[in-house]
Structure 1
């Protein structure tokens, strides 16, 4: 049986009614036969049949032991950080999602948890950053938004040798393309808002662990702290996952076309997409992933926020918005949006330039998206008086 067929048929038919879609159990509590005697559910914060079905599906997607669903990606990150204690240290990717940076530095740092940021595409840099107090290595690959690629298997060996937990944010790749647990990671996290949901209509986060024991620890924090995913959003996420493989395949195909177009454009300075052979992480991406994803970032030769602002406000099909991974194409200016919480000097050092633009390539016809980008380039050329020929 193929992976796609297995996924579709792992979504159960309701045994009580025969409903082919997972029912939404919109209830806060469950009747018990006697104190502590129930049908597996007592209170919906602790467990809910709709959410439980989702959690089993995402665990299967990542080939893990336990799935845990949260009210947002940041709530999922927060639960993982609760595994740490005062004095512990984290080695994290330098080109990190701005919300994770804010949580690490503005919340957990005051509780005595130190974070060291390194370029994780350099395995030696990860090794050099490890100290006896390092308890967690935090990886994004591809990174947001410069699409750096890190060698998951190599870093997993470093984590194991130093008895560190190893967490991979797999949001950009999705489990369709990459399964970090099979490469040695202990924990995988997703902002399920993105590709897993796929339709820009929910906020959710999921965690999958390699072992049941680690899953039970994180499940404890899910229940104790209460940042659960609602039954309705669990239902929406299951529905999104049903078409995940088809959507990701088209996202990758469209993104490759866009990346090649940008690489040849005279107003573009650099293009960040691991599907290009010129990308420094191309060979590693080929080895550990089944595709290169739907995100393309690039910088303009006019490396100013003004030029980037002119571009991102000139498109028709690429909508200016936070987030990514939906069926409609989006674009954003990380320096002024997703990474605004990171100090400018830190942001630039991690490669997030003032003119960097991130595209979340959707499922539209690629010719229409190319025409849209052409229009934006013509507009900024007129606005800046550029003499470069188009």
Structure 2
């Protein structure tokens, strides 16, 4: 973690620009990119001392790099943790964080609705290595407590849940996990540290797909996990180092650049999303809209405490069937069909056949992921243009016309 104590007094918007930043010897305003695989030693004694951990310094970029270190320090400061570990992808963060603390015979408790590849990791891969996994609706605290076992080591959740935006009481789940001597791991990708800091609710580890809002420009794949200095050191020295899912310096540099505008981007994302959600809720061809920003959403009691905004991802159920959903998406002209979120562009996708296709039909039904569910990540365009594109696609459903833009 950066030793600059000013972080403790800065507002998050300031940390996104200045957090973890070291003074450059040449006076460069922008942090330099250390695009190097390895680092030279002054002599063999120095090389040996660094490998032995007796002298600070860099060895090889898989083990550490100044550009990556700055990113780790900045995101750790934003999430209010002492340390962080940057990874090659969001799934690299999930895998490294979980496997560092698990062994054969352990049990993991997982929210029943999570990102599809996270679901595949837990349900398909972990079980091959003798790790037991249970999926549970963590909005139901009694059910969650009942699902804990004596060998439960980790509890994993997303909040809001991907894709239908159910909000989980992180503090309540943290209390359940800690009562059973388990660590709570929270995927905070949808909210960012500006809208939610799970550590304040008791989370032991918080991770992000840095591909999304932290970068914000859709030009990298990356992840990051934040936690105590002890936990992050364990992750770095075991699963992250040996599995090799480390971030490249160039990707770290791009995310550092993206982070500088995170605060203003999130303001625009959220403003646009609120208007889009209200438009969808009032539309005759929409059966239901899932968005934490509605006054009647079950998340409202957690607004202002756990969450400081509703985010910019919306899920909604179309009237009709899967063909209706496909026609609607294919009729959009401005909005892009793509399976990510947090970009400047508004992105839309069909969870059942795309991001959550690793789920079995039974698991999708249990998680409420229907064939008519659509997820939209509202971007930074003029909201009037986003609404106009949605309206023309709805009109084509009404008229029976179909045109892919």
TM-score tier after normalising by the smaller chain length: over 0.9
Look up the match of 1:141. 159
The alignment status of 1:212 with 2:229, answered yes or no, reads yes
Q: Distance in 2 between matches of 1:277 and 1:308?
A: 27
Residue ranges of structure 1 left out of the alignment (5+ in a row): 386-390
Q: Deviations over 1:137-182 (max 9, x none)?
A: 1010001100000001111111111100100000001101000011
- Structure 1 CA distance, aligned partners of 2:22 and 2:65? 17
* Residue aligning to 1:43: 60
Cα distance in 2, alignment partners of residues 35 and 107 from structure 1: 42
1:261 equivalent in alignment to 2:279:
yes
Alpha carbons 1:348, 1:354 under 8 Å: kept: no
Task: Pick from 2, 5, 24 the counterpart of residue 33 of structure 2.
Answer: 24
CA–CA distance in 2 between the matches of 1:197 and 1:60?
A: 16
Root-mean-square deviation (Å): 1.5
Q: How does 1:197-346 map to 2 (within 5 A)?
A: 197-209=215-227, 211-220=228-237, 221-302=239-320, 304-346=321-363
What does the per-residue CA deviation read over 1:309-337, in whole Å, with 9 as the maximum and x for residues that have no partner? 00111112210011111011000000111
Indicate yes or no: 2:110 matched with 1:95. no
Contact 2:15–2:74 at 8 Å: present in 1 too?
no
- Is 2:346–2:377's contact at 8 Å kept on the other side of the alignment? yes
**Match of 1:335, SS?**
helix
Cα distance in structure 1, aligned partners of 2:294 and 2:304? 11
- CA deviation after TM superposition for structure 1 residue 114, in Å: 1.4
User: Where does residue 155 of structure 1 map in the other structure?
Assistant: 173
**1:4 deviation in Å?**
1.4
Matches within 5 A, 1:52-67: 52-67=69-84
Q: Secondary structure at the match of 1:313?
A: helix
Task: Kindly indicate whether the alpha-carbon contact (under 8 Å) linking 2:16 and 2:263 is maintained by their aligned counterparts in 1.
Answer: no
**Inter-partner Cα distance in structure 1 for 2:132 and 2:317:** 32
Kindly state the Cα deviation for residue 26 of structure 1 after the two structures are TM-superposed: 1.1
Task: Say whether the 8 Å CA contact 1:142–1:149 is kept in structure 2.
Answer: yes
Relative distance call for 1:378 and 1:36 in structure 2 (3 A) is farther
Question: Residues 8 and 361 (structure 1 numbering): CA distance in 2 closer, same or farther, change over 3 Å?
Answer: same
C-alpha displacement of 1:356: 0.4
Asked if the contact 1:194–1:200 (Cα under 8 Å) also holds between the matched residues in 2, the reply is yes
Q: For residues 22-75 of structure 1, give each alpha carbon's deviation from its aligned partner in whole angstroms, at most 9, with x where no partner exists.
A: 111111111112235266011111111111111111100100011100000111
Give the 3-state SS of the residue equivalent to 1:269 in structure 2.
strand
Q: How many aligned residue pairs are there? A: 383
TM-score normalized by the length of structure 2: 0.92
Say which SS state the counterpart of residue 134 (structure 2) adopts.
Answer: strand
- 2:195 corresponds to which of 177, 181, 188: 177
Q: Distance in 1 between matches of 2:161 and 2:392?
A: 28
Cα distance, 1:274–1:100 mapped onto 2, change above 3 Å: same
Partner of 2:365: 348
**Shift in alpha-carbon separation, 1:285–1:345, aligned structure 2, 3 A:** farther
Match of 2:42 in 1: 33
| CA deviation after TM superposition for structure 1 residue 10, in Å | 2.3
Written as runs of structure 1 = structure 2, the 5 A alignment for 1:62-81 is: 62-81=79-98
Contact 2:15/2:78 (8 A) holds in 1: no
Kindly state the Cα deviation for residue 287 of structure 1 after the two structures are TM-superposed: 2.8
Alignment equivalent of 1:131, drawn from 140, 149, 154: 149
**What SS does the corresponding residue of 1:287 show, helix, strand or coil?**
coil
Compute the displacement of 1:384 (Å): 8.6
Matches within 5 A, 1:363-382: 363-382=380-399
What is aligned with 1:388? none
